[in-house]
Amino acid sequence: MTFPTAPRIDWVDYAKGICIVMVVMMHSTLGVEAALAKTGFMHQFVAFAKPFRMPDFFLISGLFLARVIDRDWRTYLDRKVVHFAYFYALWVTIQFLFKAPMFAAEHGWSGTAALYLMSFIEPFGTLWFIYLLPVFFVVTRLARPLPPALVWIAAALLESARIHTGWTAIDEFAARFVYFYSGYLFASHVFAFAEAVRAHRGLALGGLAVWALVDGALVFTGFGDWPLVSLALGFAGACAIIAIGTLLAEARLLEGLRYCGEHSIVIYLAFFLPMAATRVLLIRSGLVSDAGLIALIVTVAGVIGALAIWRATRVARLNFLFERPAALRLGAPPKPALQSAE
């Protein structure tokens, strides 16, 4: 299996940028709609993206795993488990510090403490993606002796089984592992697909138009959540986002999306704060009344605000918020002393 050797792949960053913006859009829109008890035009965008928003994110997360999966267990666990566990533990604590007064009013301080401890078993809020990634990395490594086709079929059956236990880690593992494993297993084909898009841009644009019509038709007629249909839409949407990312990279358009993709984990960790603050400010002030417009503004504020927080931490030398300290690495690490969330 061969991979590009460049430090960063432009279309990968574009695709990740599209995904992280869609994630912020979803949380922003649903939060605004819950607060106002009504929907706006952004609801349609969120619904359209539902089949492929997280599948594409997980598929891309598995793309470069083949490069490191054969490293010794100590190094592998450090980079793929301890790394994400650090950021999950840190940012779930930060989120609880902001939300503790609200929780205490409803559950009391002892109940709030119990909720905090429970967040290490049941992923908290927006952070479930960070919680689940180490699980995927470990399961994929342990599954290496098994026939890849058997693992993929089992993962696809799990996605189609529509498992709903009420436990986020179990349910999301069942729904998402097939995409992560596919990113790992079919990485060379994904890169070949991106190159084909680059070579046949007109055909790719035509394919994207057909995909958008099919995705929209199935979603808005209620068939998008059907078993096997959702699996097909997940992969089709992932291919579409990869194609869009490749076309944007080729044309050097919307560089802001590429930048967001380059710092997607930074946005994922920190967007909750500017998102929530902007939502409360707009709703309480009454400056904007349209639910869709509020959701759009909140989405933009969530993305830009998260990047601003990251930049501010670098100026204030609070790097530990987005970079893992050397003391929390397995073994004696080389410089630099901190490892970025990316």
Q: Where residue 202 falls among pLDDT bands split at 50, 70, 90? A: very high
The string of pLDDT tens digits covering residues 170-185 is 999 999 999 999 999 9
- Tell me, yes or no, whether 4 lies in a domain: no
**Which segment of 4-13, 21-30, 137-146 scores lowest on mean pLDDT?**
4-13
- Tell me, yes or no, whether 136 lies in a domain: yes
Q: Give the per-residue pLDDT at 337.
A: 47
- Stated length of the chain: 342
The string of pLDDT tens digits covering residues 70-106 is 999 999 999 999 999 999 999 999 999 999 888 988 8
The string of pLDDT tens digits covering residues 106-133 is 889 999 999 999 999 999 888 999 999 9
**Which segment of 129-138, 146-155, 232-241, 324-333 scores lowest on mean pLDDT?**
324-333
- Tell me, yes or no, whether 5 lies in a domain: no
Q: Give the per-residue pLDDT at 342.
A: 60
Name residue 26's amino acid. Answer: M
Mean pLDDT of all residues in 1-17:
73
Domains of the chain: total = 1
Q: Give the per-residue pLDDT at 4.
A: 44
Q: Give the per-residue SS3 of 143-187.
A: CCCCCHHHHHHHHHHHHHCCCCCCCHHHHHHHHHHHHHHHHHHCH
- Tell me, yes or no, whether 1 lies in a domain: no
Q: Which domain holds residue 209?
A: 10-340
The string of pLDDT tens digits covering residues 302-313 is 999 999 999 999
- Tell me, yes or no, whether 217 lies in a domain: yes
- Tell me, yes or no, whether 236 lies in a domain: yes
Torsion of CA 54, 63, 174, 151, to 10 degrees: 160
% of the chain with per-residue pLDDT over 90: 88
- Tell me, yes or no, whether 3 lies in a domain: no
How many helical (H) and strand (E) elements, i.e. helices and strands, does the chain have? 15, 2
Peptide bond preceding 336 in cis form (omega within 30 of 0): yes
